[in-house]
Chain A
Amino acid sequence: MTVSRFIRVAWLIVKKDLTIEARSRELFLTTLFFAVSCVLVFAFGFVSDQNPIGDAAAGILWIAIAFAGTLALGRAFERERYHDVLHALLLAPVDRPAIYIGKLLGVVCLLAIVEIIIVPLISLFFQTPILRHPWLLGGLLACGTLGFASVGTLFAAMLVRARSRDVLLPVLLYPITIPVIIAGVRGTVLLLQPEIDVIMVRAWIGMLVFFDVVFITLSLWTFDPLMTD
């Protein structure tokens, strides 16, 4: 299968997911609301003497992304299961990894929009200057979300037909994506300091890119054999 056909298939799947989302907005609204609730819960949990604890904002951002992402992944593939869409996709004469990339990009788009809304909220609730260096923050968020979603898409697709899939997705996903979360949090904490260390932030972004490459490669290799039953 040529590269252009691969890209076209992935794009078709992304378009399908985004079209459904644009019409129903179910996944987007529920995920967004859940992320905001998460941030609120943590905001109340990590406050002492009416003042939020400074560096907690970084951790809370990434925890909200992780939890909301898990929810979004579960729901995205649940939708596929209802109408047997996944089965139809697998029967189609296309490269299986293209399906994976298509689903991955859909989830990343959804999480990106949620993050665009969550980050200013965190800046507001925690009174932290998290938006001072938008490009660096954007780089951290992009690489981190991609790493998290790459493993999440693989496991969520696999668990579609499994028992106890709701509880098993976080059980499987979090141990593997904890390094991504750690790198994201460490990088974001550096961005919250009065004097930021650009080299260190770039180092953490580099580590996130390394994780992304490893995870996406492994996922592309294993998506096909894992989806055959």
Chain B
Amino acid sequence: MIPSRWFPAITVMAMVFFAGAPLMIARAPYESTMGLVQKIFYFHVPAWIAMFSGAFVCGISSGIYLFKGKKVADHLAVAAAELTVLFGLIGLVTGPLWARKAWGLWWQWDARLTSALILWMIFVAYQLLRQYGGPGSDKLAAGMALFGMANVPFVYWSVNVWRTIHPTTNVVPTLVPGMSEAFLWCSVAFVLIFLLTLSARVKLESHRAAIDRLYLSLDD
């Protein structure tokens, strides 16, 4: 994933970004209709950005594993799927907490929320399959991940195509200067954390594979 020599630099950057995030968020102006609770936005949207990135990485590396057979791609897919579930969970919890105040209800079955939940569930199913599917489940899970990746644009544009209670994708491009800086800062922080955890998780997977190979040689 991230080349080893960049690891210290990226780690320091992530440290800086995370330490600075609360300051940036506190300094950002209040949104006129929602007030304080709108500040969940600075974590909610970056979490979903990280989740979509995970879904894409998983889908693309699954495709490479299916069609080219590279084992490294499989390790990357497993790692990315786990992170997709993690960041999706953060998004799915912060969203309703915000919605309770902003919309008056915890959940609603509009296009965006429903499709986002389904996307998350596809990757949870991926995890279940890898865990309990037995031999051959790696290829099947790769097929699953391709369907998951195909879902991501649908989730993203659902809010523009249908009338939903969820805000449209027009919000981020039209942020006022105080908010856009804080948002960019938090997005970068989340993407850096995503890349770092992805690298660590990929390493874990490849070490597990190395152990399997060594055990096989031990049996010879």
A/B: CB atoms within 8 Å of each other: yes
A interface vs B, CB < 8 Å? 151, 154-155, 158-159, 161-164, 168, 171-172, 175-176, 178-179, 182, 214-215, 218, 222, 225-226, 229
- Digit string of B106-132 for contact with A (CB within 8 Å is 1, else 0)? 000000001100100110110011001
Q: In the bound complex, how far is the Cα of B146 from the Cα of A225, in angstroms?
A: 13
Instruction: Report whether B66 and A226 are in contact in the complex, using a CB–CB cutoff of 8 Å.
Output: yes
Cross-chain contact B136 with A229 (CB below 8 angstroms): yes
The answer to whether residues A176 and B114 also contact, given A168-B132, A226-B139 and a CB cut-off of 8 A, is no
Q: Do A225 and B66 have beta carbons less than 8 Å apart?
A: yes
| Interface class of chain B by DSSP | helix
**Nearest 6 CB-CB pairings of A with B:** A163-B134, A175-B121, A158-B140, A225-B66, A175-B122, A222-B143
Cα(A222)–Cα(B115), bound, Å: 23
State whether the Cβ of B150 lies closer than 8 Å to any Cβ in chain A: yes
9 A-B contacts, Cβ less than 8 Å apart? Answer: A151-B147, A158-B140, A162-B134, A163-B135, A172-B140, A178-B118, A215-B147, A225-B67, A226-B139
Decide yes or no whether B133 CB sits under 8 A from chain A: yes
Q: How far is the CB of A99 from chain B (nearest CB, A)?
A: 16
The A contact surface, by secondary structure, is: helix
Residues in A whose Cβ lies below 8 Å from that of B154: 179
Closest A residue to B149 by beta carbon equals: A218
Interface footprint category on B? 20 to 34
Residues of B within 8 A of A225 (CB): 66-67, 139
B residues 154-206 touching A (CB-CB < 8 Å): 154
- B90 beta carbon closer than 8 Å to chain A: no
Do the beta carbons of B128 and A171 come within 8 Å of each other?
yes
| A160 to B, closest residue via Cβ | B136
The reply to whether B150 and A172 form a contact with Cβ atoms under 8 Å apart is no
Closest residue to B148 on the A side, CB-wise?
Answer: A176
**CB-based contact A218/B150 at 8 Å:** yes
B11 close to chain A: CB less than 8 A: no
Contacts of A215 in B (CB 8 A): 147
Interface centre among B115, B140, B150 (most CB of A within 10 A): B140
B131 → chain A, closest Cβ, in Å?
A: 10
B144-A172 in contact (CB<8A): yes
> Smallest CB-CB separation from B140: which chain A residue?
A158
Contact call A218/B66, Cβ cutoff below 8 A: no
Interfacial residues of chain B within 47-104, with CB under 8 A of chain A in the complex: 66-67
Contacts of B133 in A (CB 8 A): 159, 162-164, 168
Residues of A within 8 A of B140 (CB): 155, 158-159, 162, 172, 226
Residues of A within 8 A of B142 (CB): 226
Please give me the residue from chain B that is nearest to A178 by CB atom.
B118
